[in-house]
Amino acid sequence: MTMFRIALAQINTTVGDLEGNSQRIIAALKEAEEKGAQFITFPELAITGYPPEDLLLKPLFIAENLKWLEEIVKETGDLTAIVGFADKTGDNIHNAAAVIRNGKLVSVCRKVLLPNYSVFDEKRYFEPSASSPVFVLDSLRFGVNICEDIYQPICPAANQCLIGGADILFNISASPYFAGKRLEREAILQRLAASCGVFIVYTNLVGGQDELIFDGYSMVLDNRGKIIASAAQFKEEILYVDLEVPAGEKKRDGSQSRPLEVPGLRVETIQIEGGIKKISRDKSITLGKARPMDPLEEIFRALCLGVREYVFKNGFREVVIGLSGGIDSALVASIAVEALGPGNVIGVTMPSIYSSEGSVSDSDQLAKNLSIRFLNIPIAPVVASFEALLAGPFKGIERGLAEENLQARIRGTILMTLSNKFGWLALTTGNKSETSVGYCTLYGDMAGGFAVIKDVYKTMVYELAKWLNSSKGRKIIPQATVEKEPSAELRPGQKDTDSLPPYEVLDPILVRYVENNKVLSEIVADGFDREIVKRVISLVDLNEYKRRQAPPGIKITPQAFGKDRRLPIVNKYRAWRG
């Protein structure tokens, strides 16, 4: 029986900040040593940040990342550290983990399975490894692998356990968040641990990078698949766990389908000099287990983290939001306040002659509830000026969409001018339902630097607003805003349902088409009207050009627009004909 203390360093890295990331790693090394840890693990590509994308094509970037690894090796004291970095062998780049002990680089483990789906493009940059080592330290046998290497039904983890005899697996990961991903990860890790009779130490990245959120939730599982400790979601921390690992004993749960070995993958055995020192009794720790969040809280916290990370990591301090009195802008403002604090959020109402009284009063009430700065800039004079300017070219042509969208574009211009003048980042307020079907205005309500609820359906917007009010114990978002019928207010009496099916009908169709890739006949078979489905599919397909020009936004579903779903703009295929 081998007993030792592990530190899971769930750190928040920034892509390209090689020095800052390395200093974070070194600080964690020192803390872990002070607390008597024998092992410490860091997330995937911790030195470079994840995903570094085409920075990996720059030779100097790779070279500097390797120099920082050398500095980290020097700072590694009397413990075994597993650190993610970008390795280079000849002309090949590898997604790698350094195994370091007592100031020496013991070995490098390279990723075998390179994901090339959804938001991942790892085959563009990395070469896969042909081997997966198992290390021997005293009587302990442990394997080190990277993210995808434990996720697939045929995976290197199986080689390390079933051929290499590993008692424990250290997996370093940068697994992006979407709603439900926590439970998905738990199920995969529990099945692997139980079926192979192996302990698993899973260390995940936390933080935000462009459109991706990394939720952390690092965890340790015993050899029966039980989660014995876990770190919080959406929060940077170091989780300490004392483990007793029975060497060589494998209690495999035959009821669990075990993963299969990767054919031809070599399993090397590497002996590590020295031994595992005893845990100091005066440095006892308490096992931590994160409180699981309910689904709405989890999504809200993910959105808050995404805003905070994007704003601060890009050097902004304050944000500006156009407030319409509607539910979308109210939710975005509430998320921004939670993420940045009320002093860093500015709300702007820009009423036109078509704006209802509630548009201004509800926006004003929201600003008071959130304690944010509030500007009222009427656009009616500007609209009149534009219409006078265009009276000649428009003569004899009936008023229509161009005049409606003019109002949205004037509002977009005002917000971007305020952003330009004061250095405020403009947050857009369009939801996934609207952007899916193009119910949004280029250079109007789509104008801004970051799209907070870009991946949130309208029905979910309402659920989040109600959850927020309930969780705070008061009406942050005014009840009138929650109850009013959605409207762009660009013409008299306008309602969203003039142009779209009710959101309760629209959103389930969108989920089936956009996320589940169902075809027309399959969606109709689920009980939806054929003509409505045809129209929705046609709107989604025809508005790819708009979405391609939208600002980046936070991914919270399994299939988000942008890096997830990549369709050509010029495209003659018409899915609604099916």
- Quick one: which H or E segment has residue 134? strand 134-137
Catalytic option among 147, 161, 304, 440: 147
DSSP, residue by residue, 344-371? GEEEEE---TT--HHHHHHHHHHHHHHT
Active site residue 235: no
Do the strands 450-451 and 425-428 form a parallel or antiparallel pair, or are they unpaired? parallel
End-to-end CA distance of the chain: 62
Backbone angles phi, psi at 350, to 5 degrees: -135, 75
Phi-psi region at 205: left, alpha or beta (left = phi > 0; alpha = psi -120 to 50): beta
Would you call 248 exposed, middle or buried from its count of C-beta atoms within 10 A (0-12, 13-18, 19+)? exposed
Active site residue 484: no
Cα 58–Cα 62–Cα 63 angle in degrees, nearest 5 = 115
Backbone angles phi, psi at 271, to 5 degrees: -85, 130
Backbone angles phi, psi at 14, to 5 degrees: -125, 130
Closest of 51, 116, 121, 42 to residue 76, by C-alpha:
42
Catalytic option among 33, 109, 111, 181: 111
Active site residue 147: yes
Say what angle helices 295-313 and 458-472 make with each other, to 10 degrees: 100
Residue 556's contacts (CB-CB under 8 Å, 6 or more residues apart) are: 177, 178, 179, 213, 299, 302, 303, 455, 456
Active site residues: 44, 111, 147
